[in-house]
Structure 1
């Protein structure tokens, strides 16, 4: 059963950032490497009835990848500030959820509370979204709501095409900066600032202080048109930032990408990193 969205009292849905681009987000954002999915599933060995809490779920990439591998999953909590994203996540989960129940919570991650008592998460995931969150508060929330044993907090990510170093991404970044200024744009109004400390330090200072780091190299190939779709889903090149210049930007970006493509293909060599954090003395 998929339940209606539970709206947090302290945070209304924020559809201003990616609401209009939800379809592009679902289509163009890269998924999780198979190795990372199987690593997550392996953390639940011996857990009789796993419960997943996915923070900043977006269009539900993590639970959709995990559900067919972790067949014993009995419940999923989806959390996002964007109600449109949550609706899409519920939709894409429907074909794979089986008897697994799903709740959706619209609001900031640190304000999450389970809709039904007794469904304490045994796996808490956060993919490509931890930097948007109040991280110490999120980890305190995780400690409050998580099951006492066999709980893993997984913080995952692989950067973006802004941070990737290749000739074509360097040229693309310069084109974006030519339109929007040198600083990387982020959110609905501001610019991006690097976190004050590492995610490893955030986790080490929390209740989940036993941290292991896992790396999964991945090579992706992009068609120029797919990169354009991906850019619409980013906080640094989403359409609203360009206003009436967006059509001209996309036309220029497409020409640039076509010029750099080798046989119509652009290559990205990335590393997908998974930080697994447990309470001291927890199951390994």
Structure 2
């Protein structure tokens, strides 16, 4: 999948408007991963570093990987100022399926937050099996996007996007590929076949401006896709959302589905 082209031009919006990783999800990942010193985290498709930021209290040796250079620049801007002297952060511009960390660097946790769909999943998991620590954990997790959200105002927003960009979900200049097998099934077919699934509810409130910024962070409503109709889109969206706003805010009920996967022998080793 063309992950890089799909998110061209979205990095600054992604940094400012994508919701972060809830503390409950971060704590769950901490509990799932083996303890070690140094404790190593590798975040795939790091974007502006939202996952790394949430896991800073739990890991000290950090690798952030992304296929989009502008995303890595945002991650550096977000993460460097908040690192302690105990942290070591490395960033790499690479495709997840091709990336191999330095010799001897074996992550205890590999995170794929909101990115697994874009990967050649079997190839990526095969590559991970070459270098993840023996008792290491792979975590695949995401919440519902505005396109798939089930709140009334989200459905109204999606209809406005479709009015301007067409019924089919976009992915940058192309279209979103069909959903493949369930992620849990893909993981169970890999070396990381000991899989646990957890649902973590989240509740948010959005302003109309935040919704617009969020949409511009996505592959299906990136700002450049609207061309000279951008102002018309924003006006139409604001009008469609106004009836749903409560005191200027749009409430959302969402949830993270978190899959943690390890090799069958790892549970015995901990």
TM-score scaled by length of structure 2: 0.93
**Aligned counterpart, 2:53:** 64
Once the two structures are superposed, residues 69-106 of structure 1 have per-residue CA deviations (whole angstroms, 9 ceiling, x without a partner) of x1xx2311111111111111122111332232222121
What SS does the aligned partner of 2:261 have? strand
**Aligned counterpart, 1:117:** 103
Alpha-carbon contact 1:127-1:155 (below 8 Å) kept: yes
**How many angstroms apart in 1 are the aligned matches of 2:30 and 2:44?**
17
Instruction: Return closer, same or farther for 1:232/1:112 CA change in 2, 3 Å cut-off.
Output: same
What SS does the aligned partner of 1:244 have? helix
Aligned residues: 266
TM-score scaled by length of structure 1: 0.89
Instruction: Return closer, same or farther for 1:181/1:232 CA change in 2, 3 Å cut-off.
Output: same
Q: Please, which of 180, 188, 192 is the counterpart of residue 176 of structure 2?
A: 192
What SS does the aligned partner of 1:109 have? coil
**Aligned counterpart, 1:44:** 33
Alpha-carbon contact 1:13-1:83 (below 8 Å) kept: no
Matches within 5 A, 1:69-80: 70=58, 73-80=59-66
**How many angstroms apart in 2 are the aligned matches of 1:43 and 1:85?**
27
**How many angstroms apart in 2 are the aligned matches of 1:261 and 1:13?**
33
Alpha-carbon contact 1:19-1:85 (below 8 Å) kept: no
The Cα of 1:189 is off from its aligned counterpart by: 2.5
The Cα of 1:66 is off from its aligned counterpart by: 0.5
Q: Please, which of 14, 17, 29 is the counterpart of residue 18 of structure 2?
A: 29
Q: Please, which of 255, 258, 263 is the counterpart of residue 242 of structure 2?
A: 258
Alpha-carbon contact 1:260-1:266 (below 8 Å) kept: yes
**Aligned counterpart, 1:154:** 139
**Aligned counterpart, 2:196:** 212
1:54 aligns with 2:43: yes
**How many angstroms apart in 1 are the aligned matches of 2:256 and 2:36?**
26
Alpha-carbon contact 2:34-2:108 (below 8 Å) kept: no
**How many angstroms apart in 2 are the aligned matches of 1:256 and 1:195?**
29
Alpha-carbon contact 2:40-2:62 (below 8 Å) kept: yes
Alpha-carbon contact 1:55-1:109 (below 8 Å) kept: yes
**Aligned counterpart, 2:91:** 104
Q: Please, which of 212, 222, 226 is the counterpart of residue 242 of structure 1?
A: 226
Which has the bigger relative contact order, CA under 8 A and spacing at least 6?
Answer: 2
**How many angstroms apart in 1 are the aligned matches of 2:229 and 2:35?**
55
1:221 aligns with 2:208: no
Give structure 1 regions of 4+ aligned residues with deviation exceeding 4 angstroms: none
User: Which piece of structure 1 moves more, 230-239 or 191-200?
Assistant: 191-200
**Aligned counterpart, 1:92:** 78
**How many angstroms apart in 2 are the aligned matches of 1:218 and 1:46?**
27
User: Which piece of structure 1 moves more, 37-46 or 105-114?
Assistant: 37-46
